[in-house]
Amino acid sequence: MIAEIGLFALILALFVAAVQSSVPLIGAARGDSAWMSVDRPAALALFGLVGLSFGALMWLHVTSDFSVLNVVENSAVSKPMLYKVAGVWGNHEGSMMLWTFILVLYGLAVSLFGRALPPGLRARALAVQGMIAFAFILFILLTSNPFTRVNPAPPDGNGLNPVLQDPGLSFHPPFLYLGYVGFSMAFSFAIAALIEGRVDAAWARWVRPWTLVAWCALTLGVAMGMWWSYYTLGWGGYWAWDPVENASLMPWLAGTALLHSAIVAEKRDTLKSWTIFLAIITFSLSLLGTFLVRSGILTSVHSFANDPRRGLFILILLATFTGGSLTLYAVRAPALKGGTIFSPISREGGLLINNILLSTAAGTVLLGTLYPLFADALGLGKVSVGPPYYNLVIAPLAIALFLVMAIGSLMSWKRGNLKGALRKLRAAAAAAAVTFILTLVIAGLSARSLWASLGLGLAVWLLAGTLVEWAGRVGLFQRPLAETLRKALRVPRSAYGMTISHLGLAIVLIGIIGSTAWRTEYLDVMRPGDTASIAGYEVKFIRVDDGVQGPNYVATRGLFTVAKDDRLVAELHPERRTFTAPEQTLSNVAIHSSVGGDIYAVLSDPSEGGYIVRIYHNPVVPWLFLGAILMVLGGGVSLTDRRHRIGAPLRGLGVSLRPRPVATPGAAVPAE
């Protein structure tokens, strides 16, 4: 019964989406406010119906209703409750349901917070959201129905792949999708603006916080994915340039560019058609990622059950949305009023360079992901694109980006003072140089340490540069402390957001560089009583306990002690778990984290009376994840800025927008 309710609600939702994508659009074209005002109730109803359907699917999973094929294939009675919930989106059908649910959630947000938006803009944007929802619901109904019954119902299901039974991964897809789908907001508003033929600062003011929300969620989602890959796959790394990882990186890069160009669009009323273009590209890359992962044209570890029929549908979808929007862009963008021309030596100039570098990086990753296919089709021979390609092409872009970041944030709007900025950065440059030389001296001269020193130098450059910018803003060491404190309190939250996020990125870079350049590995057969020395630690294998009972697995648990200078640092319990459904053996990594790095132990197969044991020392890996959290935190702080609060500047008693100060040429614009 529940399954039928879910399916029925989804079918109804399809019709509501059809209404939402047509009626408000026609209304806006005709200037008919009654038709336009269908948008908000429609979005509300769509949310209710998709929510009901999604809730039904979750109910089926939680109660282990094995008369439903999706539950049989992905669940088992013995599966812990957390994974019964998370298992909903651990498969193709359920993940598409989650995708759609998050989409309508954003639609609901427009409906709730967008009351004071210009009705035409809102009606058109919600209509575009409705079209996306329509397409995805149709996709689910035609190719990926999660409510299919199975008769007779089996007594138990096949269970969820044990690799996916992990708390980190349970919340990875929701955040990732909140990010991907969140960019649909910028996309829908970009299309609405193109139809209207007008992009004003109010547009950018609305799009910016939503892009920030999506960006924060995507950053967190990607970081969680890396974290999961790091501590469950047991290979000691966190990023492998796999097509699916790239699929999440491309929208992240484009979204980061969008985030920054939206600032220029809002503050300086320029770069508008570029911002529109980026909004289209960012969401298109999210769709492209969906296509690549599910169509079967690429092989990847993360691939969902591939089905060319689904691939065709998503390709048509991609053609409709990306092709349609780019055509609209080609037709309407030339008519958009161009912004003011600005000097390259200015904050907007710096942000433009940031945009060029980030979009080039996104393009590079796209090329690398598709290159084996292109090369094969063009008969250029057999190519495999691996980490060497990405390291080679991303490195120069990243170096340039980090260099510009510190300088750009010190520039004022309109006309920056490059010399002045560089003068302020002397301390940062000195710190970077000292880091570079010190690292080289300590690590010894080699190609690897040269790169690593360069990377660390860059990280310190950005770290110090960001602090210099903040210090200059609050007048640290130049004015009395009391005044500095008072100023520090008055600095806008969005500026703090930038400071925190940029610091976070610098810390992420330190984590990446440190963990790739100075990772040490130990691998041998160990018997209880043996000791391994790695990176100054003594790791002693004490014993193994067999038959440790887990909720749905039996484990062999090793006990290791980690000591440094004869002092006990930690106990590690790596396990080999044999799961019951599906039957599979998996290593469960044990990690001891500290600021300096991780001791990472994996217990492998028994061999020669002992066990094959791998121990890694991964220096500064926690910095990577800490930095990522800081980046998200920075985004969050920026969101709490009074002027960014979603809808806040638009709300009020009046129907129209409150007049806002727009930077007029010649007027002094405060540096921000």
Residue 314 or 474 with smaller CB distance to another protein: 314
**Per-residue contact flags (x/-) with another protein for residues 60 to 99, judged by CB under 8 A:** ----------------------------------------
Residue located via tokens 């539950």: 71
Hey, what amino acid is at 222?
Answer: V
Task: Compute how many residues bind another protein; rule: CB under 8 A.
Answer: 48
Do 265 and 277 contact (CB within 8 A), yes or no? no
Residue 375 or 633 with smaller CB distance to another protein: 375
Chain-centroid distance, C-alpha 350: 24
Alpha-carbon distance of 264 to 337, in angstroms, equals 15
Residue 326 or 629 with smaller CB distance to another protein: 326
Residues facing 521 on adjacent strands? 616
Helices marked H in 38-156 — which ranges?
39-62, 69-74, 81-86, 92-113, 119-143
Work out how close the CB of 556 gets to another protein at its nearest, in angstroms, rounded to a whole number.
15
Alpha-carbon distance of 435 to 412, in angstroms, equals 28
Write out the binding residues for another protein, residues 305-334 only, by CB under 8 A: 308, 311-312, 315, 318-319, 322-323, 326-327, 329-330, 333-334
Write out the binding residues for another protein, residues 481-540 only, by CB under 8 A: 521, 523
DSSP letter assigned to residue 381:
-
Alpha-carbon distance of 410 to 421, in angstroms, equals 6
Alpha-carbon distance of 614 to 621, in angstroms, equals 17
Chain-centroid distance, C-alpha 43: 25
* H or E element that contains 243: helix 243-268
Work out how close the CB of 397 gets to another protein at its nearest, in angstroms, rounded to a whole number.
20
Residues facing 597 on adjacent strands? 594, 619
Q: Which of 148, 299, 343, 640 binds another protein (CB under 8 A)?
A: 299
Residue 557 or 614 with smaller CB distance to another protein: 614
Write out the binding residues for another protein, residues 28-47 only, by CB under 8 A: none
Instruction: Rounding to the nearest 10 degrees, give the CA dihedral for residues 143, 44, 209, 116.
Output: 150
Alpha-carbon distance of 253 to 286, in angstroms, equals 11
Backbone angles phi, psi at 522, to 5 degrees: -130, 135
Work out how close the CB of 315 gets to another protein at its nearest, in angstroms, rounded to a whole number.
6
Alpha-carbon distance of 94 to 57, in angstroms, equals 8
Write out the binding residues for another protein, residues 593-622 only, by CB under 8 A: 602, 604-605, 612, 614
**Per-residue contact flags (x/-) with another protein for residues 385 to 404, judged by CB under 8 A:** -xx-----------------
Residue 128 or 632 with smaller CB distance to another protein: 128
Write out the binding residues for another protein, residues 277-296 only, by CB under 8 A: 277, 281, 284, 291, 295-296
Alpha-carbon distance of 99 to 289, in angstroms, equals 13
Work out how close the CB of 161 gets to another protein at its nearest, in angstroms, rounded to a whole number.
11
Residue 332 or 493 with smaller CB distance to another protein: 332
Residue 197 or 323 with smaller CB distance to another protein: 323
**Window of 169-177, 231-239, 480-488, 511-519 that interacts with another protein by CB under 8 A:** 231-239
Q: CB-based contacts of 588: which residues, under 8 Å, 6+ apart?
A: 232, 555, 574, 575, 576, 577
Q: CB-based contacts of 415: which residues, under 8 Å, 6+ apart?
A: 343, 345, 346
Q: CB-based contacts of 285: which residues, under 8 Å, 6+ apart?
A: 250, 251, 254, 362, 366
Residue located via tokens 């992420």: 508
Work out how close the CB of 328 gets to another protein at its nearest, in angstroms, rounded to a whole number.
9
Does residue 446 belong to the site contacting another protein (CB under 8 A)?
Answer: no
**Per-residue contact flags (x/-) with another protein for residues 183 to 212, judged by CB under 8 A:** ------------------------------
Does residue 235 belong to the site contacting another protein (CB under 8 A)?
Answer: yes
Alpha-carbon distance of 603 to 573, in angstroms, equals 9
Write out the binding residues for another protein, residues 347-376 only, by CB under 8 A: 372-374, 376
Work out how close the CB of 288 gets to another protein at its nearest, in angstroms, rounded to a whole number.
9
Q: Which of 142, 383, 430, 485 binds another protein (CB under 8 A)?
A: 383
Work out how close the CB of 96 gets to another protein at its nearest, in angstroms, rounded to a whole number.
18
Does residue 11 belong to the site contacting another protein (CB under 8 A)?
Answer: no
Alpha-carbon distance of 90 to 52, in angstroms, equals 19
Question: Contact residues for another protein (CB under 8 A)?
Answer: 233-235, 240, 242, 273, 277, 281, 284, 291, 295-301, 308, 311-312, 315, 318-319, 322-323, 326-327, 329-330, 333-334, 372-374, 376-377, 382-384, 386-387, 521, 523, 602, 604-605, 612, 614
